[in-house]
């Protein structure tokens, strides 16, 4: 009964609704199965054709069959009907089916609501600036569709203008809500399994070729804002997983790696300390990639026994962390013997030549430091080449690398160095993370990309603790000093964003990334913590939800009042004749003759004639002209004459007595 | 009668508006969210929960933008009615059982157009109209006319859901409107001419075929016969003259109350008379109407027909 009461849908509104459905559903084609995107397109086209030919809608029974088939197919495709991606697929499918049974205005309103909901689902996949702009465009279109539904047939231009006006008036209010609406940290309930698919970063194991996949990606790993000056480029080692287990092929984090240490690690700074805030992109890992080595960590994080900074939970969203680090350090002069033993372990049978070489060094040199220097000299003096496209290695990977191929990148050098050191009886381990970073002069942030991924080594020397050694530096010093772009031959694959030669392109990229960073920091990264920061900067010393809600309500009310005044206050527009007459009267006022509001033009002229006879002629002329223009049928020539009268009035400084 | 019904006249105590044009001031405009507005609010809450749960900053932005749009749309819905001027117009008489259409003039002094204004009497059929910026528009609002007499349609419900349909603003302008409702005509054979005619005035020899001359006008003469040209020639000095014709063959026809069956009800007899008036008018001959206490001299033409029907419509009124 209620359904029959709703107004029937005007055919003229259908193109608007179809356009809205298309705009909200189309971008999902990028990650939906092809068959679904095609059927959605076909359903919308079908509806458009029905509208063109003014044909009746398909029977409900047929639609029910199609809808059930579609839902079953989606369930089969995703093997569930619950997950996030599956939910999106279902909404997109309904968005295409709904127009086929849309008969009333109420149906169409439901379609627009579905469109609003569908807009939200895009942010599961991207929240970039472009998506943000597209949000505005798509919302305008949906609002325009609503205006077309409820405002009747007007020209498309008028509808879009009205929608844009509505949006423009809403933006200040949205800004207030965005900044002051009390934020709650999610999630409120368990997220589906597929909620964090497709996040990339370092892993807890390093097998040949695993790191160069990362290096070939130009995407940003994290951005760092230093409180003062930047440390030198050569000490920008961002510490990730420490790999202490070696099986001859793969280096991996020992199972005990994530456990808290029995005794707190002891780190002493020997030089300058640096304070900074890192904004890490989501990577679904726990390593917080502090600058080697961290002295102060963010609350809630933990320093593991191998000095990795670990978050409590894998990082599912971009987040900010404040650190203080000492690039020049002494760490754990006294180390747990079990840990040192672990750092000496090697697979027994493998790499005989390397072992022999290392043992000869051990006999030759007294101190571990000398052995390490010898190893680095070995790399420097034997035509080793730094390349991202190394040849494949055999079962004795380190032997093959050291004595045959001699081509590789950081993971090969770090791995071979650590094997040599362990064979020579020096505790050593592989550290992975990022090295370097590029300062963006636009906003002063240091940008660290996946292509800055790096592997280096650490050795332990009695009395001096763990020391960082980067064997790659002895082969390709430019890698450490100027970044991977400088170290690699031009033929090696590197993302275009990393290898930019022309200055203006680089500047463009810097501006783009700085804008992105600002977007990330202030729009996407606007969380409860940032909100508190902003509020305390605005003078709310102790913002709790009560005074925040009060401030929010007040500001919203003020913004709405301003919009209401601008919208509702409407002065009647004066006609050109009224304006000209008013100007004439203003000019007369300066001569001391003010017209009363109730005075008609001719009565006023008569009064002027009595009180200031010299002005009588011109006043009578102007008054009669205005009377004809306003009350009768005036001509443009008369309007011009009225304006001339104003001009012929004596100026104020020549007062007529 | 519930309390609400009792309170209604007090709540909506405007009564008939005497001052014209009726200007819809803020005091007279009501506004409430519609069902789709409530649905929108629910969708927004669900979206906000989703945005919080998945920690979507742009999701928050979208929800806040939509909430802001909803609030701003409320102002625009209100604006769509504010300061609109309503003036009553004419309503053409109708026969009982037909739909009466009351013309209402709307004037928009604002610089923005008023879109999708909906006008209705109570729960009757709604008409939709746009009024251009600084423009006027006239609209006929339908109201069923079930009984003869003067129809008072009551207050107008003037409402709008523009722009987004989330809010409905309405007002009850109550201009003095009335429409004459003729009795529902019953088609039946005309009474024989002269059957019930009384002697007295005799117009029998007159017709309209041949002009014979002018004479002084008597109050019972139809205005159609006034010699306007002759009057216009010398407007100040002559009384009104009437053209005289000769040779009309039709005998005079009196439609008489007493000719209707006395055993049927008043309404039935009036309906019969209304049917006769229509038939007589179609016949082309002059006809007169005689009701208890009232007689209309024979004549014919639209004016005569309307006069007769009006007399029937208002019979027994006061």
User: Which residue among A470, A492, A619, A645 is the active-site one?
Assistant: A470
Spatial CA neighbour of B193 closest among B139, B249, B265 = B249
Spatial CA neighbour of A306 closest among A258, A352, A270 = A258
Q: Of the candidates A134, A153, A172, which is a domain's last residue?
A: A153
Spatial CA neighbour of A205 closest among A458, A483, A415 = A415
CB B205 within 8 A of CB B246: yes
Distance separating alpha carbons of residues A378 and A583, to the nearest angstrom: 95
CB B298 within 8 A of CB B253: yes
Residue B75 has pLDDT above 80, yes or no: yes
pLDDT tier, B204 (very low <50, low <70, confident <90, very high otherwise): very low
Q: Of the candidates A153, A174, A189, which is a domain's last residue?
A: A153
Q: How many structural domains is chain A composed of?
A: 2
User: For residue A252, what are the β-bridge partners?
Assistant: A205, A245
Residue B317 has pLDDT above 80, yes or no: no
Residue B169 has pLDDT above 70, yes or no: yes
In this complex, is the C-beta atom of B31 within 8 Å of any C-beta atom belonging to chain A? no
**Runs of H (alpha helix) within chain B:** 3-11, 35-53, 57-79, 228-233, 266-283, 302-313
Can you give the pLDDT at residue B251? 64
Express each pLDDT in A426-452 by its tens digit: 999 999 999 988 888 888 889 888 888
Is there a domain that residue A520 lies in? Answer: no
Give B194 or A540, the one with higher predicted confidence.
Answer: A540
Can you give the pLDDT at residue A459? 93
Is there a domain that residue A361 lies in? Answer: no
ipTM over 0.90: no
Can you give the pLDDT at residue A57? 87
Tokens of B177: 């409107």
Can you give the pLDDT at residue A571? 60
Tokens of A155: 């020209």
Tell which phi-psi region holds residue A307, choosing left (phi > 0), alpha (psi between -120 and 50) or beta: left
Express each pLDDT in A498-515 by its tens digit: 666 677 888 888 888 888
Tokens of A344: 């000496």
Tokens of A502: 């022309």
What range does the domain containing A20 cover?
2-153
Tokens of A337: 């013997």
**Which residues does chain A have within 8 Å of residue B139's beta carbon, measured at their own beta carbons?**
none
Tokens of A460: 């332990």
pLDDT tier, A147 (very low <50, low <70, confident <90, very high otherwise): very high
Range with top average pLDDT, A239-243, A262-266, A312-316, B62-66: B62-66
Mutate to test the interface with A, among B29, B44, B47, B55 (most CBs of A within 10 A): B55
SS3 readout for A562-573: HHHHHHHCCCCC
Residue A651 has pLDDT above 60, yes or no: yes
CB A324 within 8 A of CB A274: yes
Express each pLDDT in A42-54 by its tens digit: 999 999 999 999 8
What percent of chain A stands above pLDDT 90?
24
pLDDT tier, B71 (very low <50, low <70, confident <90, very high otherwise): very high
**Average pLDDT over chain A, rounded to an integer:** 84
CA distances from A628 to A577, A608, A638, A642 (A): 10, 19, 8, 11
Q: Of the candidates A132, A153, A174, which is a domain's last residue?
A: A153
CB contact under 8 A, B53 and A149: no
CB B257 within 8 A of CB B290: yes
Is there a domain that residue A239 lies in? Answer: no
Can you give the pLDDT at residue B166? 94
Q: B98 Cβ partners below 8 Å, 6+ apart?
A: B144, B145
Interface of B with A in 104-163 (CB under 8 A): 109-112, 115-116, 128, 130, 134, 161-163
Express each pLDDT in A361-387 by its tens digit: 999 988 899 999 999 999 888 888 888
Express each pLDDT in A442-494 by its tens digit: 888 898 888 888 899 999 998 888 999 999 888 888 777 777 776 666 666 66
Is there a domain that residue A534 lies in? Answer: no
CB A540 within 8 A of CB B71: no
From the list B50, B109, B110, the residue facing A120 with the nearest CB is B50
Interface of A with B in 242-301 (CB under 8 A): none
User: For residue B117, what are the β-bridge partners?
Assistant: B129, B160
Distance separating alpha carbons of residues A512 and A494, to the nearest angstrom: 20
Which uninterrupted H or E stretch holds B21? Answer: none
Spatial CA neighbour of B86 closest among B126, B129, B124 = B129
Can you give the pLDDT at residue A68? 92
Can you give the pLDDT at residue A17? 93
Range with top average pLDDT, A127-131, A139-143, A338-342: A139-143
pLDDT tier, B183 (very low <50, low <70, confident <90, very high otherwise): very high
Distance separating alpha carbons of residues A445 and A512, to the nearest angstrom: 13
- For chain B, what are the domain ranges? 12-182, 210-313
In this complex, is the C-beta atom of A26 within 8 Å of any C-beta atom belonging to chain B? no
CB A172 within 8 A of CB B72: no
Is there a domain that residue A35 lies in? Answer: yes
pLDDT tier, B206 (very low <50, low <70, confident <90, very high otherwise): very low
DSSP codes joined into one string, A515-563: HHHHHIIIIIT--HHHHHHHHHHTT-SS--HHHHHHHHHHHHHHHHHHH
**Which residues does chain A have within 8 Å of residue B159's beta carbon, measured at their own beta carbons?**
none
pLDDT tier, B6 (very low <50, low <70, confident <90, very high otherwise): low
Can you give the pLDDT at residue A586? 85
Give B204 or A297, the one with higher predicted confidence.
Answer: A297
Q: Is A348 exposed, middle or buried (0-12, 13-18, 19+ CB in 10 A)?
A: exposed
**Which residues does chain B have within 8 Å of residue A151's beta carbon, measured at their own beta carbons?**
115-116, 162-163
Angle, CA of A244, A249 and A253, to the nearest 5°? 25
Quickly tell me which residue has 């933990």 as its tokens.
A302
Spatial CA neighbour of A188 closest among B54, B241, B67 = B54
Give B95 or B55, the one with higher predicted confidence.
Answer: B95
**Closest Cα in chain B, distance from residue A4 (Å):** 14
pLDDT tier, B44 (very low <50, low <70, confident <90, very high otherwise): very high
pLDDT tier, B197 (very low <50, low <70, confident <90, very high otherwise): very low
Express each pLDDT in A612-628 by its tens digit: 888 888 888 888 888 88
Distance separating alpha carbons of residues B286 and B290, to the nearest angstrom: 14
Residue B196 has pLDDT above 50, yes or no: no
Distance separating alpha carbons of residues A202 and A212, to the nearest angstrom: 11
Q: What is the mean pLDDT of residues B158-184?
A: 91
Can you give the pLDDT at residue B217? 65
Express each pLDDT in A168-227 by its tens digit: 999 999 999 998 888 877 666 655 555 555 556 788 888 766 777 777 777 888 999 998
Can you give the pLDDT at residue B120? 92
CB contact under 8 A, B75 and A567: yes
DSSP codes joined into one string, A434-480: EE--EEETTTTEEEEEGGGEEEEEEEEETTTEEEEE-HHHHH-HHHH
- Kindly identify which residue of chain B lies nearest to residue A135, measuring between CA atoms: B62
Out of A87-91, A196-200, B146-150, which region has the weakest mean confidence (pLDDT)? A196-200
**Is there a catalytic annotation at residue A410?**
yes
Distance separating alpha carbons of residues A590 and A444, to the nearest angstrom: 61
Q: At what angle do helices A84-97 and A14-25 cross, to 10 degrees?
A: 160
Please report, to the nearest 10 degrees, the dihedral formed by the alpha carbons of residues A61, A62, A66, A68 taken in order: 20
Express each pLDDT in B85-108 by its tens digit: 999 988 899 999 989 999 999 988
Give A389 or B178, the one with higher predicted confidence.
Answer: B178
**Closest Cα in chain B, distance from residue A565 (Å):** 10
User: Which residue among A28, A122, A412, A454 is the active-site one?
Assistant: A454
Is there a domain that residue A257 lies in? Answer: no
CB atoms within 10 A of CB A554: 12
CB atoms within 10 A of CB A25: 25
Q: What is the mean pLDDT of residues B277-297?
A: 86
- Kindly identify which residue of chain A lies nearest to residue B48, measuring between CA atoms: A120
Residue A634 has pLDDT above 60, yes or no: yes
Distance separating alpha carbons of residues A380 and B226, to the nearest angstrom: 128
Express each pLDDT in A329-343 by its tens digit: 888 888 888 888 888
Q: What is the mean pLDDT of residues A532-547?
A: 76
Residue B210 has pLDDT above 90, yes or no: no
Distance separating alpha carbons of residues A331 and A432, to the nearest angstrom: 17
pLDDT tier, B231 (very low <50, low <70, confident <90, very high otherwise): low
């Amino acid at each position: 009964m209620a359904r029959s009461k709703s107004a029937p849908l005007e055919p003229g509104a259908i193109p608007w609704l179809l356009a809205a459905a298309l705009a909200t559903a189309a971008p999902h084609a990028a990650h939906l199965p092809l068959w679904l995107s095609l059927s959605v397109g076909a359903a919308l086209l079908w509806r458009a054709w029905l509208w063109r030919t003014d044909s009746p809608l398909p029977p409900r029974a047929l639609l029910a069959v199609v809808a059930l088939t579609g839902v079953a197919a989606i369930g089969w495709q995703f093997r569930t009907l619950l997950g996030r991606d599956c939910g999106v697929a279902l909404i997109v499918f309904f968005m295409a089916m709904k127009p086929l049974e849309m008969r009333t205005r109420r149906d169409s309103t439901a379609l627009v609501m579905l469109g609003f909901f569908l807009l939200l689902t895009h942010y599961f996949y991207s929240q970039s600036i472009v998506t943000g702009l597209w949000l505005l465009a798509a919302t305008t279109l949906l609002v325009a569709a609503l205006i077309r539904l409820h405002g009747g047939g007007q020209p498309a231009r008028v509808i879009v203008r009205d929608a844009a006006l509505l949006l423009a008036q809403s933006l200040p209010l949205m800004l207030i809500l965005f900044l002051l609406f009390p934020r709650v940290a999610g999630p409120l309930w368990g997220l589906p399994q597929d909620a964090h698919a497709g996040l990339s970063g370092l892993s807890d194991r390093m097998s040949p070729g695993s790191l160069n996949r990362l290096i070939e990606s130009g995407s940003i790993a994290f951005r760092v804002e230093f409180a003062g000056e930047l440390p030198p480029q050569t000490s920008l080692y961002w510490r990730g997983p420490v790999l202490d287990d070696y099986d001859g092929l793969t280096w991996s984090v020992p199972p005990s790696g994530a456990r808290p240490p029995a005794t707190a690690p002891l780190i002493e700074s020997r030089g300058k300390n640096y304070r900074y805030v890192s904004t890490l992109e989501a990577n679904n890992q726990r390593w917080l990639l502090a600058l080697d080595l961290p002295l102060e960590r963010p609350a809630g994080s933990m320093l593991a026994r191998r000095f990795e900074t670990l978050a409590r939970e894998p990082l599912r969203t971009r987040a900010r962390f404040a650190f203080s680090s000492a690039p020049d350090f002494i760490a754990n002069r006294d180390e747990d013997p079990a840990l040192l033993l672990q750092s000496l372990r090697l697979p027994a049978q493998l790499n005989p030549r390397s072992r022999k070489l290392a043992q000869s060094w051990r006999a030759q040199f007294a101190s571990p430091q000398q052995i390490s220097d010898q190893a680095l000299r070995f790399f420097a003096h034997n035509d080793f080449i730094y390349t991202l496209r190394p040849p494949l290695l055999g079962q004795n990977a380190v032997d093959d690398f050291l004595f045959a191929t001699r081509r590789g990148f950081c993971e090969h050098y770090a791995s071979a160095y650590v094997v040599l050191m362990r064979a020579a009886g020096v505790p050593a381990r592989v550290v992975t993370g990022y090295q370097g970073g590029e300062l963006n002069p636009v906003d002063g942030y240091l940008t660290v990309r996946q292509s800055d991924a790096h592997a280096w080594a650490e050795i332990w020397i009695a009395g001096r603790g763990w020391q960082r050694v980067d064997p790659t530096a002895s082969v390709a010093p430019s890698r450490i000093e100027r970044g991977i772009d400088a170290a690699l031959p031009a033929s090696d694959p590197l993302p275009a964003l990393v290898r930019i030669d022309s200055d203006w392109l680089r500047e463009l990229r810097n501006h783009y990334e700085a804008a992105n960073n600002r977007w990330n920091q202030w729009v996407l990264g606007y969380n409860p913590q940032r909100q508190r920061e902003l509020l305390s900067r605005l003078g709310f010393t102790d913002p709790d939800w009560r005074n925040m809600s009060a401030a929010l309500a007040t500001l919203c009310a003020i913004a709405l009042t301003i919009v209401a005044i601008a919208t509702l206050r409407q002065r009647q527009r004066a006609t050109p004749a009224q304006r000209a007459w008013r100007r004439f009267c203003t000019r007369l006022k300066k001569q001391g003759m003010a017209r009363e509001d109730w005075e008609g033009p001719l009565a006023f002229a008569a009064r002027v004639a009595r009180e200031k006879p010299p002005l009588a002629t011109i006043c009578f002329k102007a008054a009669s002209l205005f009377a004809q223009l306003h009350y009768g049928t005036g001509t443009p020539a008369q309007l011009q004459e009225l304006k001339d009268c104003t001009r012929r009035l004596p100026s104020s400084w020549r007062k007529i007595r | 009668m519930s309390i609400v019904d009792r309170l209604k006249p007090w709540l909506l105590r405007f009564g008939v508006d005497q001052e014209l044009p009726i200007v819809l001031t803020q005091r007279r405009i009501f506004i409430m969210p519609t069902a789709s507005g409530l649905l929108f609010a629910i969708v927004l809450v669900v979206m906000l929960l989703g945005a919080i749960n998945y920690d979507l900053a742009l999701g928050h932005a979208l929800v806040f933008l939509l909430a802001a749009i909803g609030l701003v749309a409320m102002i625009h819905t209100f604006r769509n009615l504010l300061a609109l001027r309503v003036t009553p117009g004419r309503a053409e008489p109708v026969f009982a059982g037909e739909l009466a259409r009351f013309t209402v003039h709307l004037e928009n002094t604002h610089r923005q157009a008023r879109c999708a204004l909906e006008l209705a009497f109570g729960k009757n059929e709604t008409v939709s109209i746009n009024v251009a910026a600084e423009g006027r528009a006239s609209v006929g609002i339908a109201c069923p006319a079930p009984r003869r007499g003067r129809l008072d349609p009551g207050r107008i419900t003037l409402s709008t859901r523009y722009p987004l349909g989330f809010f409905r603003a309405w007002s009850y302008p109550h201009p003095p409107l009335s429409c004459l409702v003729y009795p529902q005509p019953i088609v039946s054979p005309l009474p024989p001419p002269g059957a019930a005619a009384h002697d007295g005035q005799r117009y029998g020899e007159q017709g309209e075929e041949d002009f014979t001359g002018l004479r002084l006008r008597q109050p019972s003469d139809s205005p159609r016969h006034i010699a306007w040209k002759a009057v216009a020639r010398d407007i100040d000095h002559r009384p009104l003259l009437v053209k005289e014709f000769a040779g009309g063959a039709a005998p005079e026809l009196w439609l008489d109350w007493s000719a209707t069956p006395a055993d049927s009800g008043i309404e039935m007899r009036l309906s019969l008379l209304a049917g006769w008036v229509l038939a007589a008018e179609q016949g082309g001959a002059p006809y007169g109407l005689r009701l208890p206490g009232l007689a209309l001299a024979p004549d014919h033409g639209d004016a005569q027909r309307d006069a007769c029907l009006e007399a029937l419509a208002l019979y027994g009124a006061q």
